[in-house]
Structure 1
Amino acid sequence: MTLEWEQVIVDAADPGALGSWWAEALGWTVVDDSAEEYEIRPAPDRLPGLLFVRVPEAKSVKNRLHLDFRPDDQRAEVDRLLTLGARHADIGQGEQPWTTLMDPEGNEFCVLAARRR
């Protein structure tokens, strides 16, 4: 059996707004912008993607799954994401070498320190 990772599904109150935010944050391409779902990918023919789907309920607890990103310059990337509308998140992580942020709908993600060479 062969499995290919197609995408991560993200529940959203406003799939278009949240998907647009992530497309800008990641520099990804929009491949579907219908009313009920919004899909972005690194490039139109590259996987995996992020698919934002409309749900009626609001987020109420810490995510059980989150994304980690490793930039070349952690401080600059955190500042850029905060400028785009991310917010700092305290999920009980304490002092760590990564920064935990939330997207505009409250989904947590981490910006890691640069990889040691």
Structure 2
Amino acid sequence: MALEWEQVVVDSADPVALGRWWASALGWVVVNDDADEFEIRPSADTLPGLVFLPVPERKQLKNRLHLDFRPDDQAAEVERLLALGARRADVGQGGAPWVVLADPEGNEFCVLGQRSDP
């Protein structure tokens, strides 16, 4: 049996707005702009994607699943994401070498530092 990772589903109060924010943050393309199922991907024919679905309730607690990103320049990427509307988040990371941010609806994600060679 083989599995292909199709997408990550993100519950959202405003799927279109949050999906467009993530498309800008990641430089991805919109492949479905329906308000009930807004989907973005790295390119139209590349998986996995992110699909944003509407839910009536707002996020209340720390995510049980989050995304990690490793940019070439952590400080520059953090500043770029903050300028797009992300905010800094504290999930108890202390002095960790990664930066925890939250998207406009409060979903946490990490911006990692430069990879250390083993």
Sort the TM-score into its range (normalised by shorter chain): over 0.9
Q: Which stretches in structure 2 are left out of the alignment for 5+ residues?
A: none
Q: Which residue of 1 aligns with 2:98?
A: 98
Which segments of structure 1 move beyond 4 Å, counting only runs of 4 or more? none
TM-score, length basis structure 1: 0.98
1-side partners of 2:114 and 2:69: how far apart? 10
* Counterpart check, 1:87 vs 2:90: no
- Please report how far the alpha carbon of residue 37 of structure 1 lies from its aligned counterpart in structure 2 after TM superposition: 1.5
Q: Identity of counterpart residues, as a percentage? A: 71
Q: CA offsets, 1:9-31, max 9 Å, x none?
A: 00000000000000000000100
Give the deviation of 1:116 after TM superposition.
3.0
Identify the residue that residue 8 of structure 1 maps to in structure 2: 8
- 2:50 alignment counterpart: 50
Q: Distance in 1 between matches of 2:86 and 2:66?
A: 15
SS at match of 1:20: helix
Whether 1:108 aligns to 2:108 is: yes
Which amino acid is 2:107 matched to?
N
| Cα distance in 2 between the residues matched to 1:116 and 1:91 | 24
Distance 2:113 2:91 in 1: 18
Matched residue, 2:38: 38
* Aligned-partner Cα distance in 2 for 1:20–1:35: 11
Structure 1 gaps of 5+ residues are none
What secondary structure is seen at the aligned counterpart in 2 of 1:21? helix
The number of equivalent residue pairs is: 117
What's the counterpart of residue 74 of structure 1? 74
What RMSD, in angstroms, separates the aligned Cα atoms of the two structures?
A: 0.7
TM-superposition CA deviations, 1:6-62 (whole Å, max 9, x none)? 000000000000000000000001000012121000000000000000000110100
Question: What is the rounded CA distance, in whole Å, between the counterparts of 1:19 and 1:35 in structure 2?
Answer: 10
